[in-house]
Chains A and B, each alone.
Chain A
């Protein structure tokens, strides 16, 4: 049972990781590409971390919860990275399919 759960989590996590990357590959402009990794990968890695927590809680005498910390870090940092990247892209005026509001052009 646990093994199935683990396997499911692992496959899901890996799939989302891949989907995030696919977004990076397939979407037509930078701002759209930004969506893929920032969201999908957080969940992907999140699933893997849960899998890891379960696995190590099972295989050692104590609970393994330190994976929570990685998730915490990621949930804080990934959006900030995305925000900064978007900001930089707006600054550089990279090609965008969406109409860029004039407010960005200070």
Chain B
């Protein structure tokens, strides 16, 4: 009701009420949860909905900041609570509250007690704005008033102390509990009261007072005597009532005057005496003036504080501290009334105040009435207090007396001292303000929070920048280093020798020569890698040496493949090099070079040792299966080929798909790719005039049918002899590349199918359909079959379905390689024809 009138019409009420409902629902959920996980869920929901409520006026800077601060702090607590609850659940074996509460002793004796306690208290303290997390509450004040009122005085912050109360039987009764809960409560009580006095914002003052009162309640739970618990619960109720009324009053003042600055607000009594009266009663209750409900719980608190500490050495400290805190409480209560409603005339009010609408006051009136009623007839809360306490204590209700008058005991005197002292402090407030301003070193929680967050953001940004320099060199370095470390660790402490027991082959001079040649070439490439063209020539020699190794050690198929791939790769690199700088720049940084060199060397030694270790060990393998089954069941003599198209045809299907994807990806990259090549070579020499050397062109025409014949040969015999679809495909491509080299792009292009995609697709399709074909016969994918057809005259002619698969491979390879090469060639054509030879001459002159 109150909210309806407070919020102006332009605000989106639906959203507001949705948030509010969510919030109230969650609070209710917390209160009613019988299961701690359920409780936790509602707990987090209150944090979230409070974030939404506080940030409701998100156009305001302080609303956004306050909301985020609240979410951060309570979120931190929520997560701590999650941890604490899980541990608690583990210790007690149940997430059920009743079980947990019943197993208090078990919890207290468990090794995990301390972490559980710390985590749960962290949750409770952050929620209840206990020191050092108190600062979010005042900053959450930017929210619309009724929300703040409801949220902060009555519910949200109480969730924390509610939790303390709820888990009291399970966790309390230890020294840690007393010191932590009591200590934090005491500090919060004192700090809250002290800061409340110096606030100039009405809501800020109320917020700090709330903090202070929460500290009081926490302290009561920390004292942990049954009566203190009773007092605590009683004060929860009392505080809810008077603080809500005060918040609403403050809201009314804000609404009517347009400001909440205490220094601006003066003498409102003449404009709104009714509201003033309500405020006086609320404040009096807050200050603990007799006849009001706040007095009674405070009285109980004083009493318990004395009882509890009388057996300690520093027994006088606690009562003195709380008396001092109460003094400040009284002082700010007086300030709230006197500075706002009296004390001269209002200055520069944005609006002329008047009594608010009737409906806005009614809720306040009811609350204030409650203050009075409980204050005078405390026993009426018995029906609420009793069961609440029983559930909190999980023990019979202690004897206590709720009465206005307990006689002239110490507690009473403390109340009196506080009241008088408070009056005195208020009178001397001007001096105190000065004093406060002097010592104000801005070390409040908000500053620290902001400092921490700023540090977090900036250091995160810096750290992230530091870690992720977005440098490929670093990424690769880290990767290689990581792999190296991981690869080495298993050998540390391993007592088995690197060299195994297998007999090794003797070395021959030719192999030594070829390998040394390859090694030297490789090292030379590293040394001269900036002279790119020369590096390419040398790479060719390394590739050749690798092919020779394949030949030497019984892998003719591999040698064929290596040779063809080598040449196609070099052609590709040459095509690309044209568009890149011919000469690499010198890379600066001795450190980087030596670091890389060291890593590379260690990795090289590692690879060497690994190879050596494996090669000198005998192993049992599955190879014999392939050599045995290849001919009778795979229908081919070339075991490698039968593996490729049959035993592991699935790999090959994947492999040609990779090739096809590469071609398609490259094709996609060429989209809108524009590059211009140099008009001169690296020595500033013009290019030669001869684009199509005649001799080469002629013989390339001649070689084409020959090469195709060879390709057909390699393709068809692959199943039984070295060869196969892949190599045949590369030969075909190379033959066509030869046409490109000799005759140029345009000429060759016009003689080839314009679109290679259908070719690739057909090849893949053939391969897949060959595989699927077997599915129709009830066999698994890629099952092969072969027949020997004894055709009249022609003779034995073997046809294996796997050979059709190989045909698919062939087509894909041709399609993919050509697609790549053609497009690379077209890259140049896509340019304006400015680097015509004639233009060059013109330009030179």
Q: Which residues on A are within 8 Å of B, measured CB to CB? A: 69, 72-73, 76-77, 80, 83-84, 87, 91-92, 106
Contact = CB atoms under 8 A, between A and B. Distances in A.
B690 A87 contact: yes
B689 A106 contact: yes
A47 B371 CA distance: 120
A83 B702 contact: no
A76 B703 CA distance: 8
Contacts of B688: 87, 91, 106
Contacts of A80: 695-696, 699
27 contacts: A69-B710, A72-B706, A73-B703, A73-B706, A76-B699, A76-B702, A76-B703, A77-B699, A77-B703, A80-B695, A80-B696, A80-B699, A83-B693, A83-B695, A83-B696, A84-B693, A84-B695, A84-B696, A87-B688, A87-B690, A87-B693, A91-B685, A91-B688, A92-B683, A92-B685, A106-B688, A106-B689
A72 B710 CA distance: 13
Contacts of B695: 80, 83-84
Nearest to A72: B706
Interface residues of B, number: 13
Question: What are the 7 tightest A-B residue pairs by CB atom distance, in nearest-first order?
Answer: A91-B688, A83-B695, A80-B699, A106-B689, A80-B696, A76-B699, A80-B695
B94 to A, nearest CB: 84
Nearest to A76: B699
Nearest to B688: A91
Interface string B673-693: 000000000010100111001
A103 to B, nearest CB: 13
Contacts of B696: 80, 83-84
B693 to A, nearest CB: 6
Interface in B679-735: 683, 685, 688-690, 693, 695-696, 699, 702-703, 706, 710
A10 to B, nearest CB: 15
Interface of B: 683, 685, 688-690, 693, 695-696, 699, 702-703, 706, 710
A73 B731 CA distance: 14
A106 B689 CA distance: 8
Interface of A is mostly: helix
Contacts of A84: 693, 695-696
B506 to A, nearest CB: 22
Contacts of A76: 699, 702-703
B553 to A, nearest CB: 21
A92 B680 CA distance: 12
Contacts of B699: 76-77, 80
A90 B685 CA distance: 12
Contacts of A106: 688-689
Contacts of A91: 685, 688
Contacts of B710: 69
Nearest to B837: A106
A28 to B, nearest CB: 21
A92 B689 CA distance: 13
A68 to B, nearest CB: 12
A84 B742 CA distance: 11
A72 B695 CA distance: 16
A83 B695 CA distance: 8
A77 B690 CA distance: 19
A33 to B, nearest CB: 15
Contacts of A73: 703, 706
A50 to B, nearest CB: 20
A106 B841 CA distance: 11
Nearest to B698: A80
Nearest to B696: A80
Nearest to B709: A69
A95 to B, nearest CB: 14
A84 B693 CA distance: 8
Contacts of A87: 688, 690, 693
Contacts of A92: 683, 685
A29 B683 CA distance: 21
B691 to A, nearest CB: 12
B263 to A, nearest CB: 90
A76 B700 CA distance: 10
A76 B683 CA distance: 32
A44 B396 CA distance: 112
A87 B687 CA distance: 12
A84 B683 CA distance: 20
Given A80-B696, A106-B688, 13 more contacts: A76-B702, A77-B699, A83-B693, A83-B695, A83-B696, A84-B693, A84-B696, A87-B693, A91-B685, A91-B688, A92-B683, A92-B685, A106-B689
Contacts of A77: 699, 703
Contacts of B693: 83-84, 87
A80 B693 CA distance: 10
A80 B700 CA distance: 10
A106 B840 CA distance: 13
A91 to B, nearest CB: 5
A45 to B, nearest CB: 15
A81 B551 CA distance: 25
Contacts of A83: 693, 695-696
A83 B703 CA distance: 17
A91 B689 CA distance: 10
Nearest to A87: B693
